[in-house]
Amino acid sequence: MSLLVEKYLTFVAVIPKNAALYLRICKLKVVLMLVITAWVGIVLAPDMGRSWLVQLASLAGIGLVSAAAAAINHIVDQDRDQKMARTRHRPLAQQQLSAKQALCFAASIGIMGVILLLVYSNWLCTLLTVGALFGYAVVYSVFLKHMTPQNIVIGGLAGAMPPLLGWVSETGSFNAEPWLLVMIIFTWTPPHFWALAIARKQDYERADIPMLPVTHGVRFTKLCMLVYSVLLTLVCLLPFLIGMSGWLYLIISSLLNAIFVQKVTRLYFESKSESAMSVFRFSITYLLLLFVVLFADKLIL
């Protein structure tokens, strides 16, 4: 036991030296976006009189568990990451960090996140957050990603969970409203990811990962993106229709959806998919603005 503690302390002692590498395996920008969507879940939930410090601690918990999930994904995918131009420079693919180091790191920040959630939110939020980690790090990364072109559709549920996690951290109970926000991210994920998968099709072919453009072709993928972007437009109306969000949200979200559908439509009619990366980049701006406007709308409602 004391040997184990000693080994762990040796591991912790060299974390600062490799800090930049550990930060890279956390997928920080993605985690930041996940935390923003969780924050909106908190803001839109009924006011339970919790202090902003407690809310911040809950968000830190969700962020740490998400970062742990991202680090586990790097361990699971290290061999395949070596085969793709986009991912071959990652710390585990380059053997700058070992799987053992990454696992110790993921376990440490994951446990810290769980403790924060247990202390500052509630057991239901903790359970759902750990469920999301399992969904992404195990169900998606280990199984679905290599089994079916529907991988990111099913696996997308894990990444769509944060608004629900935020809401539940506040209320401790399930409600219908946060599920609408989950549905928004869930329907956004396919056009978000498939745009990149079209641009990086050769990468996925080389790594033998059955992404939709590889298994069913680029044209069919573009059609699916179009269907999901129209579906997303409809789902985005729901927060307004049930009275959760007001006119500001309706106007800005409709505008964002019109641009998104227009960009995906243009991509559909292009023969060489030149604008795939522009659709991918816009998808990120889109989601950020959508959640900012959900937030702003709540403040003025």
> Which residues are near ligand FPP by CB under 6 A?
27, 30, 34, 65-66, 69-70, 73, 77, 87, 129, 132-133, 136, 145, 158-159, 161-162
- Interaction partner, residue 128 (ligand FPP, ligand HEM, none; CB < 5-8 Å by kind): none
How near is the Cβ of 228 to ligand FPP at its closest, in Å? 16
Give the residue among 115, 162, 98 at the shortest CA–CA distance from 135: 162
The H-assigned helical ranges of the chain are: 2-13, 19-24, 28-44, 52-76, 78-83, 99-120, 123-134, 145-147, 151-160, 162-171, 176-199, 201-206, 212-216, 218-241, 247-269, 276-300
Ramachandran area for residue 49 (φ above 0: left; ψ -120 to 50: alpha; else beta): left
Shortest distance (Å) from residue 147 CB to ligand HEM: 14
The span from the CA of 119 to the CA of 114, in Å, is 9
The nearest distance, CB 244 to ligand HEM, in angstroms, is 19
Among 1, 4, 10, 29, binds ligand HEM (CB under 6 A): 29
For tokens 């740490």, the residue is 64
Q: Which lies closer to ligand FPP via its Cβ, residue 130 or residue 223?
A: 130
Residue among 226 and 284 whose Cβ is closer to ligand HEM = 284
Instruction: Name the residue number minimizing CB distance to ligand HEM.
Output: 159
| Other Cβ atoms within 10 Å of 300 Cβ, number | 9
Site residues for ligand HEM, 222-261, by CB under 6 A, read none
**113 belongs to the binding site for ligand HEM (CB under 6 A):** no
Our finding on whether 60 is near ligand HEM (CB under 6 A) is no
CA distances from 179 to 45, 96, 161 (A): 12, 40, 8
Contact with ligand HEM (CB under 6 A): which of 149, 155, 163, 213?
155
Tell me which residues touch ligand HEM (CB under 6 A). Answer: 29-30, 33-34, 37, 86, 152, 155-156, 159-160, 185, 189, 192-193, 196, 284, 287
